[in-house]
């Protein structure tokens, strides 16, 4: 087994050593003794790997103690490849990176000696189901702070989805672009034209584009702020939209309940604060309810995953992706090196 932990900058660092995980890994594997090599390449790793018998487990030290890992160094990848007969990639979280152990190494294995692990298989199957086999209506719910982070995924989804719901801070850039008053709400002033273009493209492609008609507004970005509700395009100056409002929830809920396929990335508001969690919670509940009556739902992206976990709904949606950046890039339509390395060669 090989993996990385954290982002060690200066080579071997005790705090990032995988030796600390050996006991827990052994427990997870039902008590099997897990051996450990104090370096992921070199003689100790070679000797310990060569001496292994069926049923034994050897864990290698943190791959990122070598800069070669993130650089995708071929010689380093080849050395790693020599330690095993079969390559199983189960690292979806890093599938969007062409690192030595997650992509480059696959070149040193024959086609029938490299494969996905169960997690990777689940991720790829769920993503493909949404990207290429989505039953309609297909509703994509995109939230979060910034339009700029989500442009590519929105553009790709304009070719796939029936409906796109926009929530969270990014909604206000769209309202501002249409001439709305958004007070102190989040806004990317350099993306106003882009927001208009996205809305025009949606119209051209016949995709229904939904913004939250109302918002919960606050007089400061604070858990104890004063709050009101207001139309999202008429927010008084000095106030900011921090969650979607009750009308928006009702509207989005109806759309979600009539969908056959649902993709959700990004919260509807500042769900970390109790006063502004209702939008995200209501959407999470709607996604869970739609799933119970037969829709396929995929939730991904760090904050939306945190949200379904917070509201104890992770097992009520069809699939919760473990990849933040990887999931986003997958849905942007990019080829992920970690997947391509195993799948297409």
Name the site residues for ligand AMP (rule: CB under 6 A). 144-146, 149, 168-169, 186, 241-242, 266-267, 269-270, 272, 301, 303
Q: Taking the complex as a whole, how short is the minimal distance between the CB of residue 103 and ligand AMP, in angstroms?
A: 25
Q: Taking the complex as a whole, how short is the minimal distance between the CB of residue 174 and ligand AMP, in angstroms?
A: 12
Q: How many residues does the chain have?
A: 345
3-state SS, residue 219: coil
Nearer to ligand AMP, 61 or 188 (CB): 188
Alpha-carbon gap, residue 209 to 202, rounded angstroms: 7
Q: Taking the complex as a whole, how short is the minimal distance between the CB of residue 314 and ligand AMP, in angstroms?
A: 17
Other beta carbons within 10 Å of 43: 9
Q: What angle do CA 188, 190, 193 make, to 5 degrees?
A: 105
Q: Taking the complex as a whole, how short is the minimal distance between the CB of residue 296 and ligand AMP, in angstroms?
A: 22
Nearer to ligand AMP, 73 or 149 (CB): 149
Query: Rounded to 10 degrees, what is the CA torsion of 195, 199, 205, 206?
Result: 150
- What six digits make up the tokens of 342? 């195993």
Phi, psi of 338 (to 5 degrees): -65, -30
Nearer to ligand AMP, 146 or 208 (CB): 146
Is residue 9 packed enough to be buried (19+ CB in 10 Å), middle (13-18) or exposed (0-12)? exposed
Report yes or no: 279 and 248 within 8 Å, Cβ to Cβ. yes
Cis amide prior to 53 (ω within 30 degrees): no
- What six digits make up the tokens of 43? 């003689």
Q: Taking the complex as a whole, how short is the minimal distance between the CB of residue 167 and ligand AMP, in angstroms?
A: 7
Nearer to ligand AMP, 105 or 268 (CB): 268
Report yes or no: 295 and 286 within 8 Å, Cβ to Cβ. no
Q: What is the 3-state secondary structure (H, E, C) of 277-295?
A: CHHHHHHHHHHHHHHHCCC
Nearer to ligand AMP, 102 or 265 (CB): 265
Which has the closest alpha carbon to 330: 153, 170, 200? 153
Q: Taking the complex as a whole, how short is the minimal distance between the CB of residue 40 and ligand AMP, in angstroms?
A: 32
Nearer to ligand AMP, 146 or 310 (CB): 146
Nearer to ligand AMP, 36 or 239 (CB): 239
Is residue 106 packed enough to be buried (19+ CB in 10 Å), middle (13-18) or exposed (0-12)? buried
Nearer to ligand AMP, 245 or 269 (CB): 269
Q: Taking the complex as a whole, how short is the minimal distance between the CB of residue 220 and ligand AMP, in angstroms?
A: 12
Q: Taking the complex as a whole, how short is the minimal distance between the CB of residue 299 and ligand AMP, in angstroms?
A: 12
- The residue number whose beta carbon is nearest to ligand AMP equals 144
Report yes or no: 55 and 33 within 8 Å, Cβ to Cβ. no
């Amino acid at each position: 087994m090989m993996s990385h932990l954290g982002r060690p900058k200066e080579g071997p660092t005790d705090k990032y050593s995988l030796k600390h995980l050996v006991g827990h890994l052994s427990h997870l594997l039902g008590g099997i003794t897990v051996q450990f090599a104090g370096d992921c390449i070199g003689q100790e790793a070679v000797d310990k790997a060569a001496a292994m018998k069926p049923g034994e487990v050897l864990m290698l030290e943190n791959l990122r103690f070598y800069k070669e890992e993130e650089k995708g160094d071929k010689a380093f990848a080849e050395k790693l490849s020599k330690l095993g007969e079969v390559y199983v990639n189960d690292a979806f979280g890093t599938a969007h990176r062409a690192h030595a152990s997650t992509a480059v190494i696959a070149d040193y294995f024959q086609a029938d000696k490299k494969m996905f692990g169960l997690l990777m298989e689940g991720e790829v199957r769920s993503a493909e189901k949404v990207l290429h086999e989505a039953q309609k209506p297909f509703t994509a719910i995109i939230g979060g702070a910034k339009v700029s982070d989500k442009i590519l995924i929105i553009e790709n989804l304009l070719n796939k989805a029936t409906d796109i719901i926009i929530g969270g801070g990014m909604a206000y850039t769209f309202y501002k672009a249409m001439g709305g008053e958004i007070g102190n709400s989040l806004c990317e002033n350099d993306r106003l034209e882009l927001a208009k273009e996205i809305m025009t493209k949606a119209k051209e492609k016949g995709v229904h584009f939904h913004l939250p008609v109302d918002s919960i507004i606050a007089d400061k970005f604070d858990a104890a702020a004063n709050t009101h509700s207001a139309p999202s395009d008429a927010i008084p100056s000095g106030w900011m939209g921090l969650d979607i409002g009750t009308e928006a929830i009702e509207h989005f809920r109806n759309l979600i309940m009539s969908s056959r396929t649902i993709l959700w990335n990004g919260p509807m508001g500042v769900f970390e604060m109790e006063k502004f969690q209702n939008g995200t919670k209501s959407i999470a509940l709607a996604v869970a309810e739609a799933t119970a009556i037969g829709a396929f739902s995929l939730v991904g992206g760090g904050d939306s995953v945190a949200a379904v976990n917070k509201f104890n709904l992770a097992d009520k949606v069809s699939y919760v992706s473990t990849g933040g950046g990887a999931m986003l890039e997958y849905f942007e339509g990019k080829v992920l090196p970690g997947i391509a390395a195993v799948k297409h060669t």
